Amino acid sequence: MVVQTTFAVQPIAGALGAEVTGLDLATLDDETFTAVHDAFLEHHVLVIRDQSLSVEDQLAFGRRFGELDTHPFVDGNPEHPELLDVVTEPDDRINFGGGWHTDVTFMEEPDLGSILYAVELPPIGGDTLFANQHAAYDALSPTMQHMIDDLVAIHSAAPQYAPGGLSTQSNAMATKNAGLALAKVEHPLVRTHPETGRKGLYVNGAFTIGIKGMRSNEAKMLLDFLIAHGTHERFTCRVNWQPGSLTMWDNRSVQHFALHDYAGHTRHMRRITVKGDRPR
């Protein structure tokens, strides 16, 4: 176990993710925040246990990382637009985040990270999986790395948020602005993390729709391989939620997947996101 300034950090899997205990996020001093930030960059996913956070506490913690964002296609909380109530109802067939993805890569400047706090958990199930995209890139052969290093991927919200898109089918979470979801944005297929300098795969099955300069069947073949490779179990960790858990993840280095294995039960989380920069 690695002991930080005033708290403990225990890795939860070989590739990424750590559980943090002994912290009260509502009363973080600057020195402890710096240690939390360092742990975030090192482990990519922090599962911070035993919190008792008001909405204001969660928003204030997020703002220490930067300006908060609002979701372009899902309504925020009426009192706090930066806060998204991520809800699955007992009879929902699909859940928000239910598939491997990186948050909002359809934006020119996708969010740096997301911070999710458990409000109501199902009696069993509802875990979230994460996959380390640096480890996935590092595990490719030098020849494959060389082949993909300078490729540009095309992302769009259309598969999820255009009329008939997957995420528009949730009962619990109303979507909006479907007409705007057809826009496309280009990002490097291999992204360099702006704070650590590490390279990682930057494609995902929810929003990456093509590769610049490739025919669609060529792009599909390469994307299918890279997305399957990037979410292989050896690059993953699994977060088991408990009352009082808050998990934050680095969207510049991970993909995630909210499992929907609790039909008949409600799951309610509060999500905020921190604005990021243009991927390079």
Q: Which positions lie near ligand SIN, rule CB under 6 A?
A: 86, 96-97, 114, 116, 128, 256, 258, 269, 271
Q: How far is the CB of 82 from ligand SIN (least distance, A)?
A: 14
Rounded to a whole number, what is the distance in angstroms from the first to the last CA of the chain? 34
Q: How far is the CB of 258 from ligand SIN (least distance, A)?
A: 3
Q: How far is the CB of 32 from ligand SIN (least distance, A)?
A: 26
Q: How far is the CB of 144 from ligand SIN (least distance, A)?
A: 28
Question: Which CB, 90 or 179, lies closer to ligand SIN?
Answer: 90
Question: Which CB, 51 or 199, lies closer to ligand SIN?
Answer: 51
Decide if 187 is catalytic: no
Decide if 44 is catalytic: no
Question: Which CB, 87 or 158, lies closer to ligand SIN?
Answer: 87
Question: Which CB, 86 or 254, lies closer to ligand SIN?
Answer: 86
Q: Which among 43, 44, 71, 101 is annotated as catalytic?
A: 101
Decide if 271 is catalytic: yes
Q: Which positions are catalytic? A: 101, 103, 256, 271
